[in-house]
Amino acid sequence: MAEKILVVDDDNYIRIILQKRLTTHGYEVILAEHGEDGWQKAKSEMPDLIVSDWMMPKMDGLEFCKKVKNDEQLRYAYFILLTAKDTQDDRIEGIETGADDYLTKPFNDKDLLTRIKAGLRINALQKELVALQHQKAITELAVTLGHEINNPLGIMMLTLQVIQRKGDNQPIADVRKELEICIHNGKRVAEIVKRLSRLEDPHLIPYLKNSDMDMLDLSQGDSQSGEQ
């Protein structure tokens, strides 16, 4: 699948030239006439990299860059700012806004392509890192649930099996006692779920000594659970 590049420039000539050259290199190119148009197309197309002019009507490149970098879904898109401005202050302003790279007009085709390739490699690495972090988070949650819920759930199952095995002839008092054990451990499971839902700033603790595996620290919810 071709990598997506969004080109945003109010100069039609530059848009067409960049589209032809980037398409030749196998990229899928989306065009936008100004920042506002670029923002709408960025949201709908989710490009891997954005090449945007600085000075544009309706929304300039800096404002467009800020919106992209503040968006949860778009913030990893590599952003190259094109501009005729070439002072050190301009470069600093562009980078501080969130632009990943800065290229002055007129630009060299080879230089732009080199920067685009480098930007796409960085974008791919960021996506890979996010995927690994996501997988790690799922693993940690699974380990946490297995560790925290396994004990009360096991007790509940064993108790219910005892009730089933004894059949209808056991005294009511014994059945009630065993059901109380089930209810108690059911409440333990419910409390664990409640603590998970309350975690605002999750912390990790080792699952076992000398283990590389971590799990969520649910003790953070102790004080909150006591308030209910």
Domains of the chain, residue spans: 4-107, 131-225
Q: Dump pLDDT digits (tens) for 77-115.
A: 999 988 876 666 766 766 677 788 888 887 788 888 998
DSSP string, 39-101: HHHHHHH--SEEEEESS-SSS-HHHHHHHHHTSTTTTTSEEEEEES--SHHHHHHHHHHT-SE
Q: Dump pLDDT digits (tens) for 32-42.
A: 999 999 999 99
pTM attached to this predicted model: 0.60
Among the residues of the chain, which ranges form H helices?
12-24, 35-45, 61-69, 88-97, 109-166, 172-198, 222-225
Asked if the 4-107 domain carries CATH number 3.40.50.2300, the reply is yes
- Residue ranges in the chain whose pLDDT is less than 70: 85-88, 90-91, 93-95, 132-135, 137-143, 145-147, 196-214, 216, 218-228
Average pLDDT in the chain: 80
CB atoms within 10 A of CB 189: 16
Tell me what pLDDT residue 208 has.
Answer: 58
Task: Report the alpha-carbon angle 95-99-105, nearest 5.
Answer: 85
